[in-house]
Copies of this chain bind each other. A is one copy, B any other.
Amino acid sequence: MSLPARITVVEVGPREGFQFEGIGHPDRISTADKIRLVDALSETGVETIQVTSFVSPKAVPQMADAEAVVAGITPRDGVRYTAVYLNDVGLRRARATGRLNITGKLTLTASETFALRNQNRTLEQDRAMQVTMARLYHDLGIPIEHASIMAAFGCNYEGDVPLDRVLALARELDELIAGAGDRLRTLILADTMGWATPGQVRRTVAAVRDAVPGVRIGLHLHDTRGLGIANAYAALCEGVDYFDSAVGGLGGCPFAGHRGAAGNICSEELVFLCEELGIETGIDLEKLVACAALAEEIVGHPLPSKILHSGVLPRTRRHVA
């Protein structure tokens, strides 16, 4: 495989990052600040922004303002605003806003223990929910084109995830969507707990491509153990052209003792990597770094982004010239 000419970056910081920041302090990030960051991100050239989560406010109180956040943003032409939901209730809430891009998406998880903890469902219950969701999408006239596999690279509760399990889930999602009369176009492999390593990323991407030919592969990477951007580079080397990432590395925190606090890969580091490799992202790196500075101001502690603190190389180049 060769490097892709262009990639899609899905900005997940306002959803996943702020969800993490709000653990134990649901009101810590104000609705106004959430809106401010989404609006700033919409000026960077990013195609898709994951704005919030429509999940149970009892389970995830920091996302209880999902409707208010969506109502407060200033939609910009050309930007897709999306949200996360784990069941039919969440999908209906998201759709009711009238302002979000709702794409049909089914999700399965490669670890039952994680599914129980995250979705509060066994794998069988999770499968049944996907069938329910598929019917609901159909009723709403929304084609199902996306799927994702959570915990695809390993699990803190179950350990290593065998590749065969991931391939079986990829085929299952492909067939489930075909059975609903649609076609799986993009499959996201999520390294939910930060277990991926570069060799594993390359082997997994290649094997999943063989298992579901013609499907675009995307990656959702975390930088839990410092290999996040190396994993992204490994994926680019396999031709992967779709990545989730979080501005500033939101959701992560470099403080000692803050275990598990490693966010998604950092959007501006991903964009910088791509620029230097000659891969287009459509994103203005300096504007994105300004958003990372805003995100850091909002959370009130240093974010993991290195480039935010060291300066952007293209700007340094111009300064030198």
Known contacts A233-B233, A276-B200; decide if A226 and B307 are in contact (CB<8 Å).
yes
A10 CB to closest chain B CB, in angstroms? Answer: 19
- Give the CA-CA distance A312 to B225 in the complex, in Å: 8
User: Is the C-beta of A158 less than 8 angstroms from some C-beta in chain B?
Assistant: yes
Q: How far is the CB of A95 from chain B (nearest CB, A)?
A: 36
C-alpha spacing A156/B256, complex, angstroms: 31
Q: Is A96 an interface residue, CB under 8 A from the partner?
A: no
How many chain copies? Answer: 2
Query: Which among B197, B296, B310 is the interface contact of A273 at CB below 8 angstroms?
Result: B197
Across the interface, which residues of B come within 8 angstroms of A198, CB to CB? 233, 273, 276-277
Of the residues B154, B158, B224, B273, contact of A227 by C-beta under 8 Å: B273
* Contact among B154, B230, B278 with A233 in the assembled complex (CB-CB below 8 Å): B230
- Cα–Cα, bound, A311→B226 (Å): 11
Apart from A226-B229, A237-B237, list 20 A-B contacts with CB within 8 A: A157-B320, A159-B316, A195-B313, A197-B273, A197-B277, A198-B277, A200-B276, A226-B307, A227-B229, A227-B272, A227-B273, A230-B230, A230-B233, A233-B234, A254-B302, A254-B309, A256-B309, A260-B310, A261-B310, A304-B306
